[in-house]
A and B are shown apart, each in its own frame.
Chain A
Amino acid sequence: MPLDPPRERESEKGRQRISQLFGRIGLVRVGGEPTIQELRRKYFSFKELLNANNEALRIIADLEEKLLNPEFLTMSYQRTRCTRIAVEVFKIIRNLEILAGRKDATLERIFDRLCREMEEELGRSAVVDTKRFVVPLEEIRPEMRDAVGAKSTNLAEMKNVLGLPVPEGFAITTLAYQRFYEYNRLAGWINSVKMSLNIHDPSSVRAASERIQGRILEAEVPQDLGEALLQAYRDLRRRCGSPLRLAVRSSALGEDSVQCSFAGLYESVLNVEEKGLLEAYKKVLASKYSVRALYYKANKGIRDEDIPMCVCCLRMVDASASGVLYTQDPFHPDRIFVTAGWGLGPSIVLGEMSPETYVLDKKTGSLLEKRRSNQSVMLVSGKDAGTVELPVPRDQADEACLNPAELEALVQIARKLEAHYGFPQDVEFSLDERGRLSLLQTRPLAPVRTPETKGLALADVPEQAVLLRAAEAETACGGVGSGLSHRVKDAADLERFPPMGGVLVARRLMPEWIGLLGRVKAIVTEVGSPTGHMASIAREFRVPMIVNARGAVEKIPEGIWVTVDATHRIVYRGRIEAPENQNLQEHGPIKESPVYKSLAFLVSRIAPLNLTNPRDRSFRAASCKTLHDIMRFCHEEAINSMFAFNDTQTLRKGRVFRLKIPVPLSVFVVDLGGGLAGLGEKQKEVNCDQVASIPFRALLEGMTTEGVRWAGHVPIGLRDFVSVFANTLYDPLKHERELGARSYAIVSERYVNFSSRLGYHFSTVDAYCGETSNSNYITFRFKGGAASQDRRERRAEFIARVLKARDFWVDQQGDLVNANYKKYSLEDTLAALAMLGRLMGCARQLDVVMESPAHVEYFANLFLNGRYDFFGQSGSSGSLP
């Protein structure tokens, strides 16, 4: 943000007078008036400190949220966040030194110690960075997980460490991904498309997905990257022999983890040859933005920046049969579960048919159950690239895909894998014509605890109510769900799915159903398998699901109320109350994982705030225990330095003035030049009409609008108000003053930085009104509050809503709001500033009364309709919901 141009500097004469008065070179004598250069330098440091503080607060909010929702955690995430926040806090300390004119050894010592501790923790789980675009599987080690992705790492482990049959191949790294993205300048563009996406509107999601995927597919693979990929292909071909076909699959960071499988959501491109390799790579990268992936990420709260996409290329196995091995049946811990079908894997895992299933005893390996499949078509590699659907030959259709020897081999593999990982695995495998087994993927399989088998009191339900009880049906995810039945044949039916929810009945499940998460109460399909991707996802989101229920579509009429008992695989007509705890609990070892524990440790050194009250005696450098404490301490010290509050002499002689303003705020003003006008000689207080700063005038106009009440007791009638504070005569304002509430404004003719820290919350307005629209901007930040977390968040939502309605760009995270309004005309910018002034006044004590989400909407509407007097003089506030 540029300072005002030279002509606004102090006159030559003035400067001479000052330097004559003080003699000393460049220094400001204690008690003397600072030169304008000194002031500018101080102010620059002050702003740098504030910016660094804001950035650090954002990182803290991010880390705290990660602790609550730890899905998708990687070491590289932790390392980057810690590095960034360490740098920001360093800048805070450095700039405070400039402001205060001295170093604080205690502060530095504590900061160094905290950083050392973080570094040690991060070093414990070292991440090997790679400078390579491609890494052959044989060279992958476990520490490279964040460079090559989980799929490649797991495959490498099976191959290199366990000696299991994994095809040759190579991984394409995060470095390659970054290179591709930076070269095509994709990140910023994608973010802007995603910001305009409305996740609740299917057509908006589809449109955004198409745009982004299209852009990625059209993008160019930079030459060095392209060369590296083709070279890797050629090297592999030399080793394996011609012709070489590849399976190109995603290996995103965090994919294939316990809490997040992303099962089947990314694209695999099969049977790829040299000339199709770059295109296949782009396709897999683009699949990160498929409609289903977008829904999945939205539902899991996953952000793009944290999941770079790596890709895994394996030599294609000419599979005569493929399948999935669960080393432990999710519903029966003493069993191994295998599914298989003819041809390549996708038909099985995508749930397009019902595969053969084998249930084996985990201890003895003996076959307990076997079921035939209904497979009629299979997927095979085409002669040229790609795959082709062919009917299953008659003689094969009658045979079992796996013979006893092959099953035995799978049992051995299951045992080896569990012994190694200590955790059940979901394994994809293939058999070639000669019966040679290849493993194509492994990932952790979250075991689920089944509900009590007594389940629904079956005796109580009349037999006439049973709509469907299919013998061969299987439980993909247990539990009970009920709602209106809705048959889905195609995508159009999906879009017509009732908004209040229902039971999805289909022949087979399309991946797009993920868009209905939250609305689907249960699912019944005629084909599919518990090992399919759709089943994995149903379990992740705990949607009761029955698969392989032949005749379901015919037997379950459209639009009637049904109850699905997925545990017992029965569908009833009508709404039947299920006893408590019918739905599955997942064992989530995620919080026991080393990665999570590492995060918890790091956050403990960063986020907790111990220094809350500046007036308290313990508010000193030595009391800082975390980076957040250091930030808070420095912030306070910086304000004191900037305004020399502690040095009354300087205050008298300095360029700091108190603003006389008809709202209950203490506002101090610093003039950088041209911000105030018409001041008398000895004046220490200024009136609003002496403010010459254009943006500040607008802000003040808003703040002093008739009807906007900054003060005031929130009416005692609201019971929560009383419950929040012990005494009925509590005066929040008095409390705030006691906490050292102060506001300050730094102004010049075209600029204002207004910051209000009111005890528990702070808000900042930074604005510039230039010669052209292009240089106009407003930045607004708001955080905190006195009430509970959810009330503070609602107030933040209220603010976010109002700002969005007034064309601000807004980012709200918890109780932190960041917003800006850039490049609008002078008129619009000034109007927006006035609106902000009113908003700050109205929002001031709102957190206390934000009882419910409905309050957010209520107050937002009041404000947007120009009704600022929320609580009214008479104490009646209209009808609150």
Chain B
Amino acid sequence: MTRNSILLVDDEEAFVRSLCPTLEAEGYEVAVALGGHEALQRVRSGSVDVMILDMLMPDVDGLEVLRRTREVSPLTEVVVLTGHGSVSAGLEAMRLGAFDYLLKPCEPDELLDRIRRALEKKAIEEERGSSCRESAQKRDLGQRS
């Protein structure tokens, strides 16, 4: 069975490296992107199940990364993890389709819990998507005969 893949997106390399062992210990496959462009590349090329996204990055604004990720790969769930939150920033991210919006410092347990829930949501949406396709096929078959 393939492992779930998590993409960590944050320009603070040391922070990101310190989070990897925790995630790997849970059995996830972890990749790191130190900037927005790199993150979007990975999203387009491979499958990213859950993205942990920082908002303040030098190359591309976090919100932009969020928006494009949701467009390109709607099944990828994004959990924002930022040190500089505000009410409006939080709501904006949520409206763009973030699964959750967390403030640093964040307890590892809480982050793991959100990742689990995000994966669950992804599974449900995938299931829904495939059953939709099945129903459509059957209906087409039914209509033809």
Q: Do A and B bind each other?
A: yes
List residues of A whose CB falls within 8 A of some B CB. Answer: 1-3, 15-16, 19-20, 23, 25-26, 35, 37-38, 40-41, 44, 48, 79-80, 82-84, 86-87, 90-91, 94, 115, 118-119, 122, 129, 175, 178-179, 181-183, 185, 187-188, 222-224
A83, B105: Cβ atoms under 8 Å? no
Interchain CA distance A87-B100 in the complex, whole Å:
8
* CB pair A119 B135 closer than 8 Å: no
In the complex, A252→B129 CA distance in Å? 52
B138 near A119: Cβ-Cβ < 8 Å: no
Residue with the highest number of chain B CB atoms closer than 10 Å, among A2, A86, A129: A86
Q: Could you list some 6 contacts between A and B, CB below 8 A?
A: A19-B131, A25-B136, A37-B124, A80-B103, A83-B87, A115-B87
Q: Give which listed residue, B83, B100, B120, contacts A44 with CB less than 8 A.
A: B120
Contacts of A87 in B (CB 8 A): 90-91, 94, 100-101
Once the chains are docked, how many angstroms separate the CA of A432 from the CA of B124? 72
Instruction: Please tell me if the beta carbons of B83 and A86 are within 8 angstroms of each other in the complex.
Output: no
- In the complex the two chains form, is A178's CB within 8 Å of B87's CB? no
Q: How far is the CA of A20 from the CA of B138 in the complex (A)?
A: 8
Question: Does A25 lie within 8 Å of B132, measured CB to CB?
Answer: yes
Decide yes or no whether B144 CB sits under 8 A from chain A.
no
Q: Which A residues are in CB contact (< 8 Å) with B125?
A: 41
B120–A86 touching, CB < 8 Å: no
Counting residue pairs across A and B whose Cβ atoms lie within 8 Å, the total is 100
User: Which residues between 76 and 115 of chain B lie within 8 Å of chain A, taking CB atoms?
Assistant: 83-91, 94, 100-101, 103-105, 107-109
CB within 8 Å for A37 and B131 given contacts A83-B85, A183-B14 = yes
One of B84, B109, B138 near A129 (C-beta < 8 A)? B84
Which B residues between 122 and 144 are near A, CB-CB below 8 angstroms? 123-125, 127-128, 131-132, 134-136, 138-139, 142
Contacts A15-B131, A86-B90 aside, 13 further interface pairs with beta carbons under 8 A come to: A16-B138, A19-B131, A19-B135, A25-B132, A38-B128, A41-B128, A79-B85, A83-B86, A87-B101, A91-B100, A94-B94, A129-B84, A179-B15
A83, B103: Cβ atoms closer than 8 Å: yes
Q: A41-B128, A83-B90 given as contacts; is B101 within 8 A of A2 (CB)?
A: no
Question: A residues within 8 A CB of B83?
Answer: 129, 175, 178
Answer whether residue B2 sits at the interface, using C-beta atoms and an 8 A cutoff.
no
Q: Is B44 an interface residue (CB 8 A)?
A: no
Which of A23, A37, A83 has most chain B Cβ within 10 Å?
A: A83
A224 touches B14 (CB 8 A): yes
Complex alpha-carbon distance, A702 and B101, angstroms: 39
10 smallest CB-CB distances across A and B, nearest first, come from: A26-B132, A83-B85, A19-B135, A87-B90, A86-B87, A119-B87, A87-B101, A90-B94, A83-B90, A25-B135
Interface residues of B, count at CB 8 A: 38
A26 touches B87 (CB 8 A): no
B121 at the interface (CB under 8 A from A): yes
Please tell me if the beta carbons of A91 and B94 are within 8 angstroms of each other in the complex: yes
B68 at interface by CB-CB < 8 Å: no
Q: Is B124 a contact of A41 with CB atoms below 8 Å?
A: yes
User: Provided the pairs A16-B138, A87-B101, A178-B104 are in contact, do residues A48 and B117 lie with their beta carbons within 8 angstroms?
Assistant: yes
Q: How far is the CA of A83 from the CA of B85 in the complex (A)?
A: 7
Q: Write out the residue numbers on chain A whose beta carbons fall within 8 Å of the beta carbon of B91.
A: 86-87, 90, 115
Write out the residue numbers on chain B whose beta carbons fall within 8 Å of the beta carbon of A118: 87
State in angstroms the CA–CA spacing of A222 and B108 once bound together: 19
In the complex formed, the residue of A with least CB distance to B82 is A83
Nearest-Cβ distance from residue B37 to partner chain A, whole angstroms? 21
Complex contact B120–A26 (CB within 8 A): no
Q: Which residues of A contact B117 (CB under 8 A)?
A: 48
Inter-chain contact A26/B131, CB cutoff 8 Å: yes
Give Cα A2–Cα B87 distance, bound, in whole angstroms: 31
